Amino acid sequence: MGNLLRQYWMPVLFSWELESDGPPRRMRLLGEDLIAFRDTSNQVGILGANCAHRGASLFFGRNEDCGLRCVYHGWKYDVSGQCVDMPNEPPESTFKSRVRALSYPCQERGGLIWTYMGPRSTLPPLPDLEFNMLPEDHVSIRKNLQDKAVLESMGPIVDRTHEHLGTTDLMIIQVRRRLIDAARALRDHGVAPPGVDDPDVYRVRTATAIVPKGQNWRDAAVDYLKAFTDLPVLSAEAQLTAGRVAPTLAGGS
């Protein structure tokens, strides 16, 4: 599932949480300890938490002159992770050009910093989430913390025999099913998960319809429910090859 999530851009910080040449911030994403900083030219970088030299924490680094300088021996990295200065090497040395820290690309939009931790060298597009495409003073964004222990205490969520969801939980069941299908298709056949290459599917769409008297509203609104776009589902072939023989809503795991 971690490999599946790495296919997507992830929002990680508010833009205001990083100041140009200000203190770095540490965070853990998908099990990795990372450091984020904003350099002198306002670019954001996300690096592995430990220096490529002797592993000192870059959280204590000095953010100055377009780079983050490790406080142990002074190696300095730019936002792409490239080492740009090595004070403990002679001036004629080119060793620094061969050293890179672990880094992940970042983009900023609508007051959020996004990062991509996936394998592609050509980055997928940012999702076209409506709120994230408006001017910053048109939206209000906040963080909510979720206690991970509460989720874990729910037990193995893919094992339906331990779970007692009612018919109103069909959406939860369907979303889990699709996630599992997408993870299997990616793992076994390299199929890109839904939405990664199609930013339009995240857009908000509205529709209005007057349903003729006596007609079932669901039948009358079927075209509007499609929201004028192809739904981001896996192809039938991908679902079959991922081990899902037939679509089910409330079936077993």
Q: Which residues bind ligand FES (CB under 6 A)?
A: 51, 53-54, 56, 70, 72-75
Residue placing its CB nearer to ligand FES in the complex, 95 or 228: 95
Question: For 124, what's the count of Cα atoms within 13 Å in the CB-facing half-sphere?
Answer: 24
Minimum CB separation of residue 75 from ligand FES in Å reads 4
Instruction: State how far Cα 222 lies from the chain centre.
Output: 32
Minimum CB separation of residue 85 from ligand FES in Å reads 10
Residue placing its CB nearer to ligand FES in the complex, 48 or 110: 48
For residues 198 and 181, give the distance between their C-alpha atoms in angstroms, rounded to a whole number: 18
Residue placing its CB nearer to ligand FES in the complex, 68 or 182: 68
For the residues of 233-244, what is the DSSP string, one character each? PPPHHHHHHTT-
Minimum CB separation of residue 52 from ligand FES in Å reads 7
For the residues of 32-91, what is the DSSP string, one character each? EEEEEEE-TTS-EEEEESB-TTT--BGGG-EE-SSSEE-TTT--EE-TTSBEEE-TTS-T
Residue placing its CB nearer to ligand FES in the complex, 51 or 234: 51
Pairing type for strands 83-85 and 106-109 reads unpaired
Minimum CB separation of residue 56 from ligand FES in Å reads 4
- For residues 181 and 175, the answer to whether their CB atoms sit within 8 Å is no
Minimum CB separation of residue 74 from ligand FES in Å reads 6
Residue placing its CB nearer to ligand FES in the complex, 72 or 202: 72
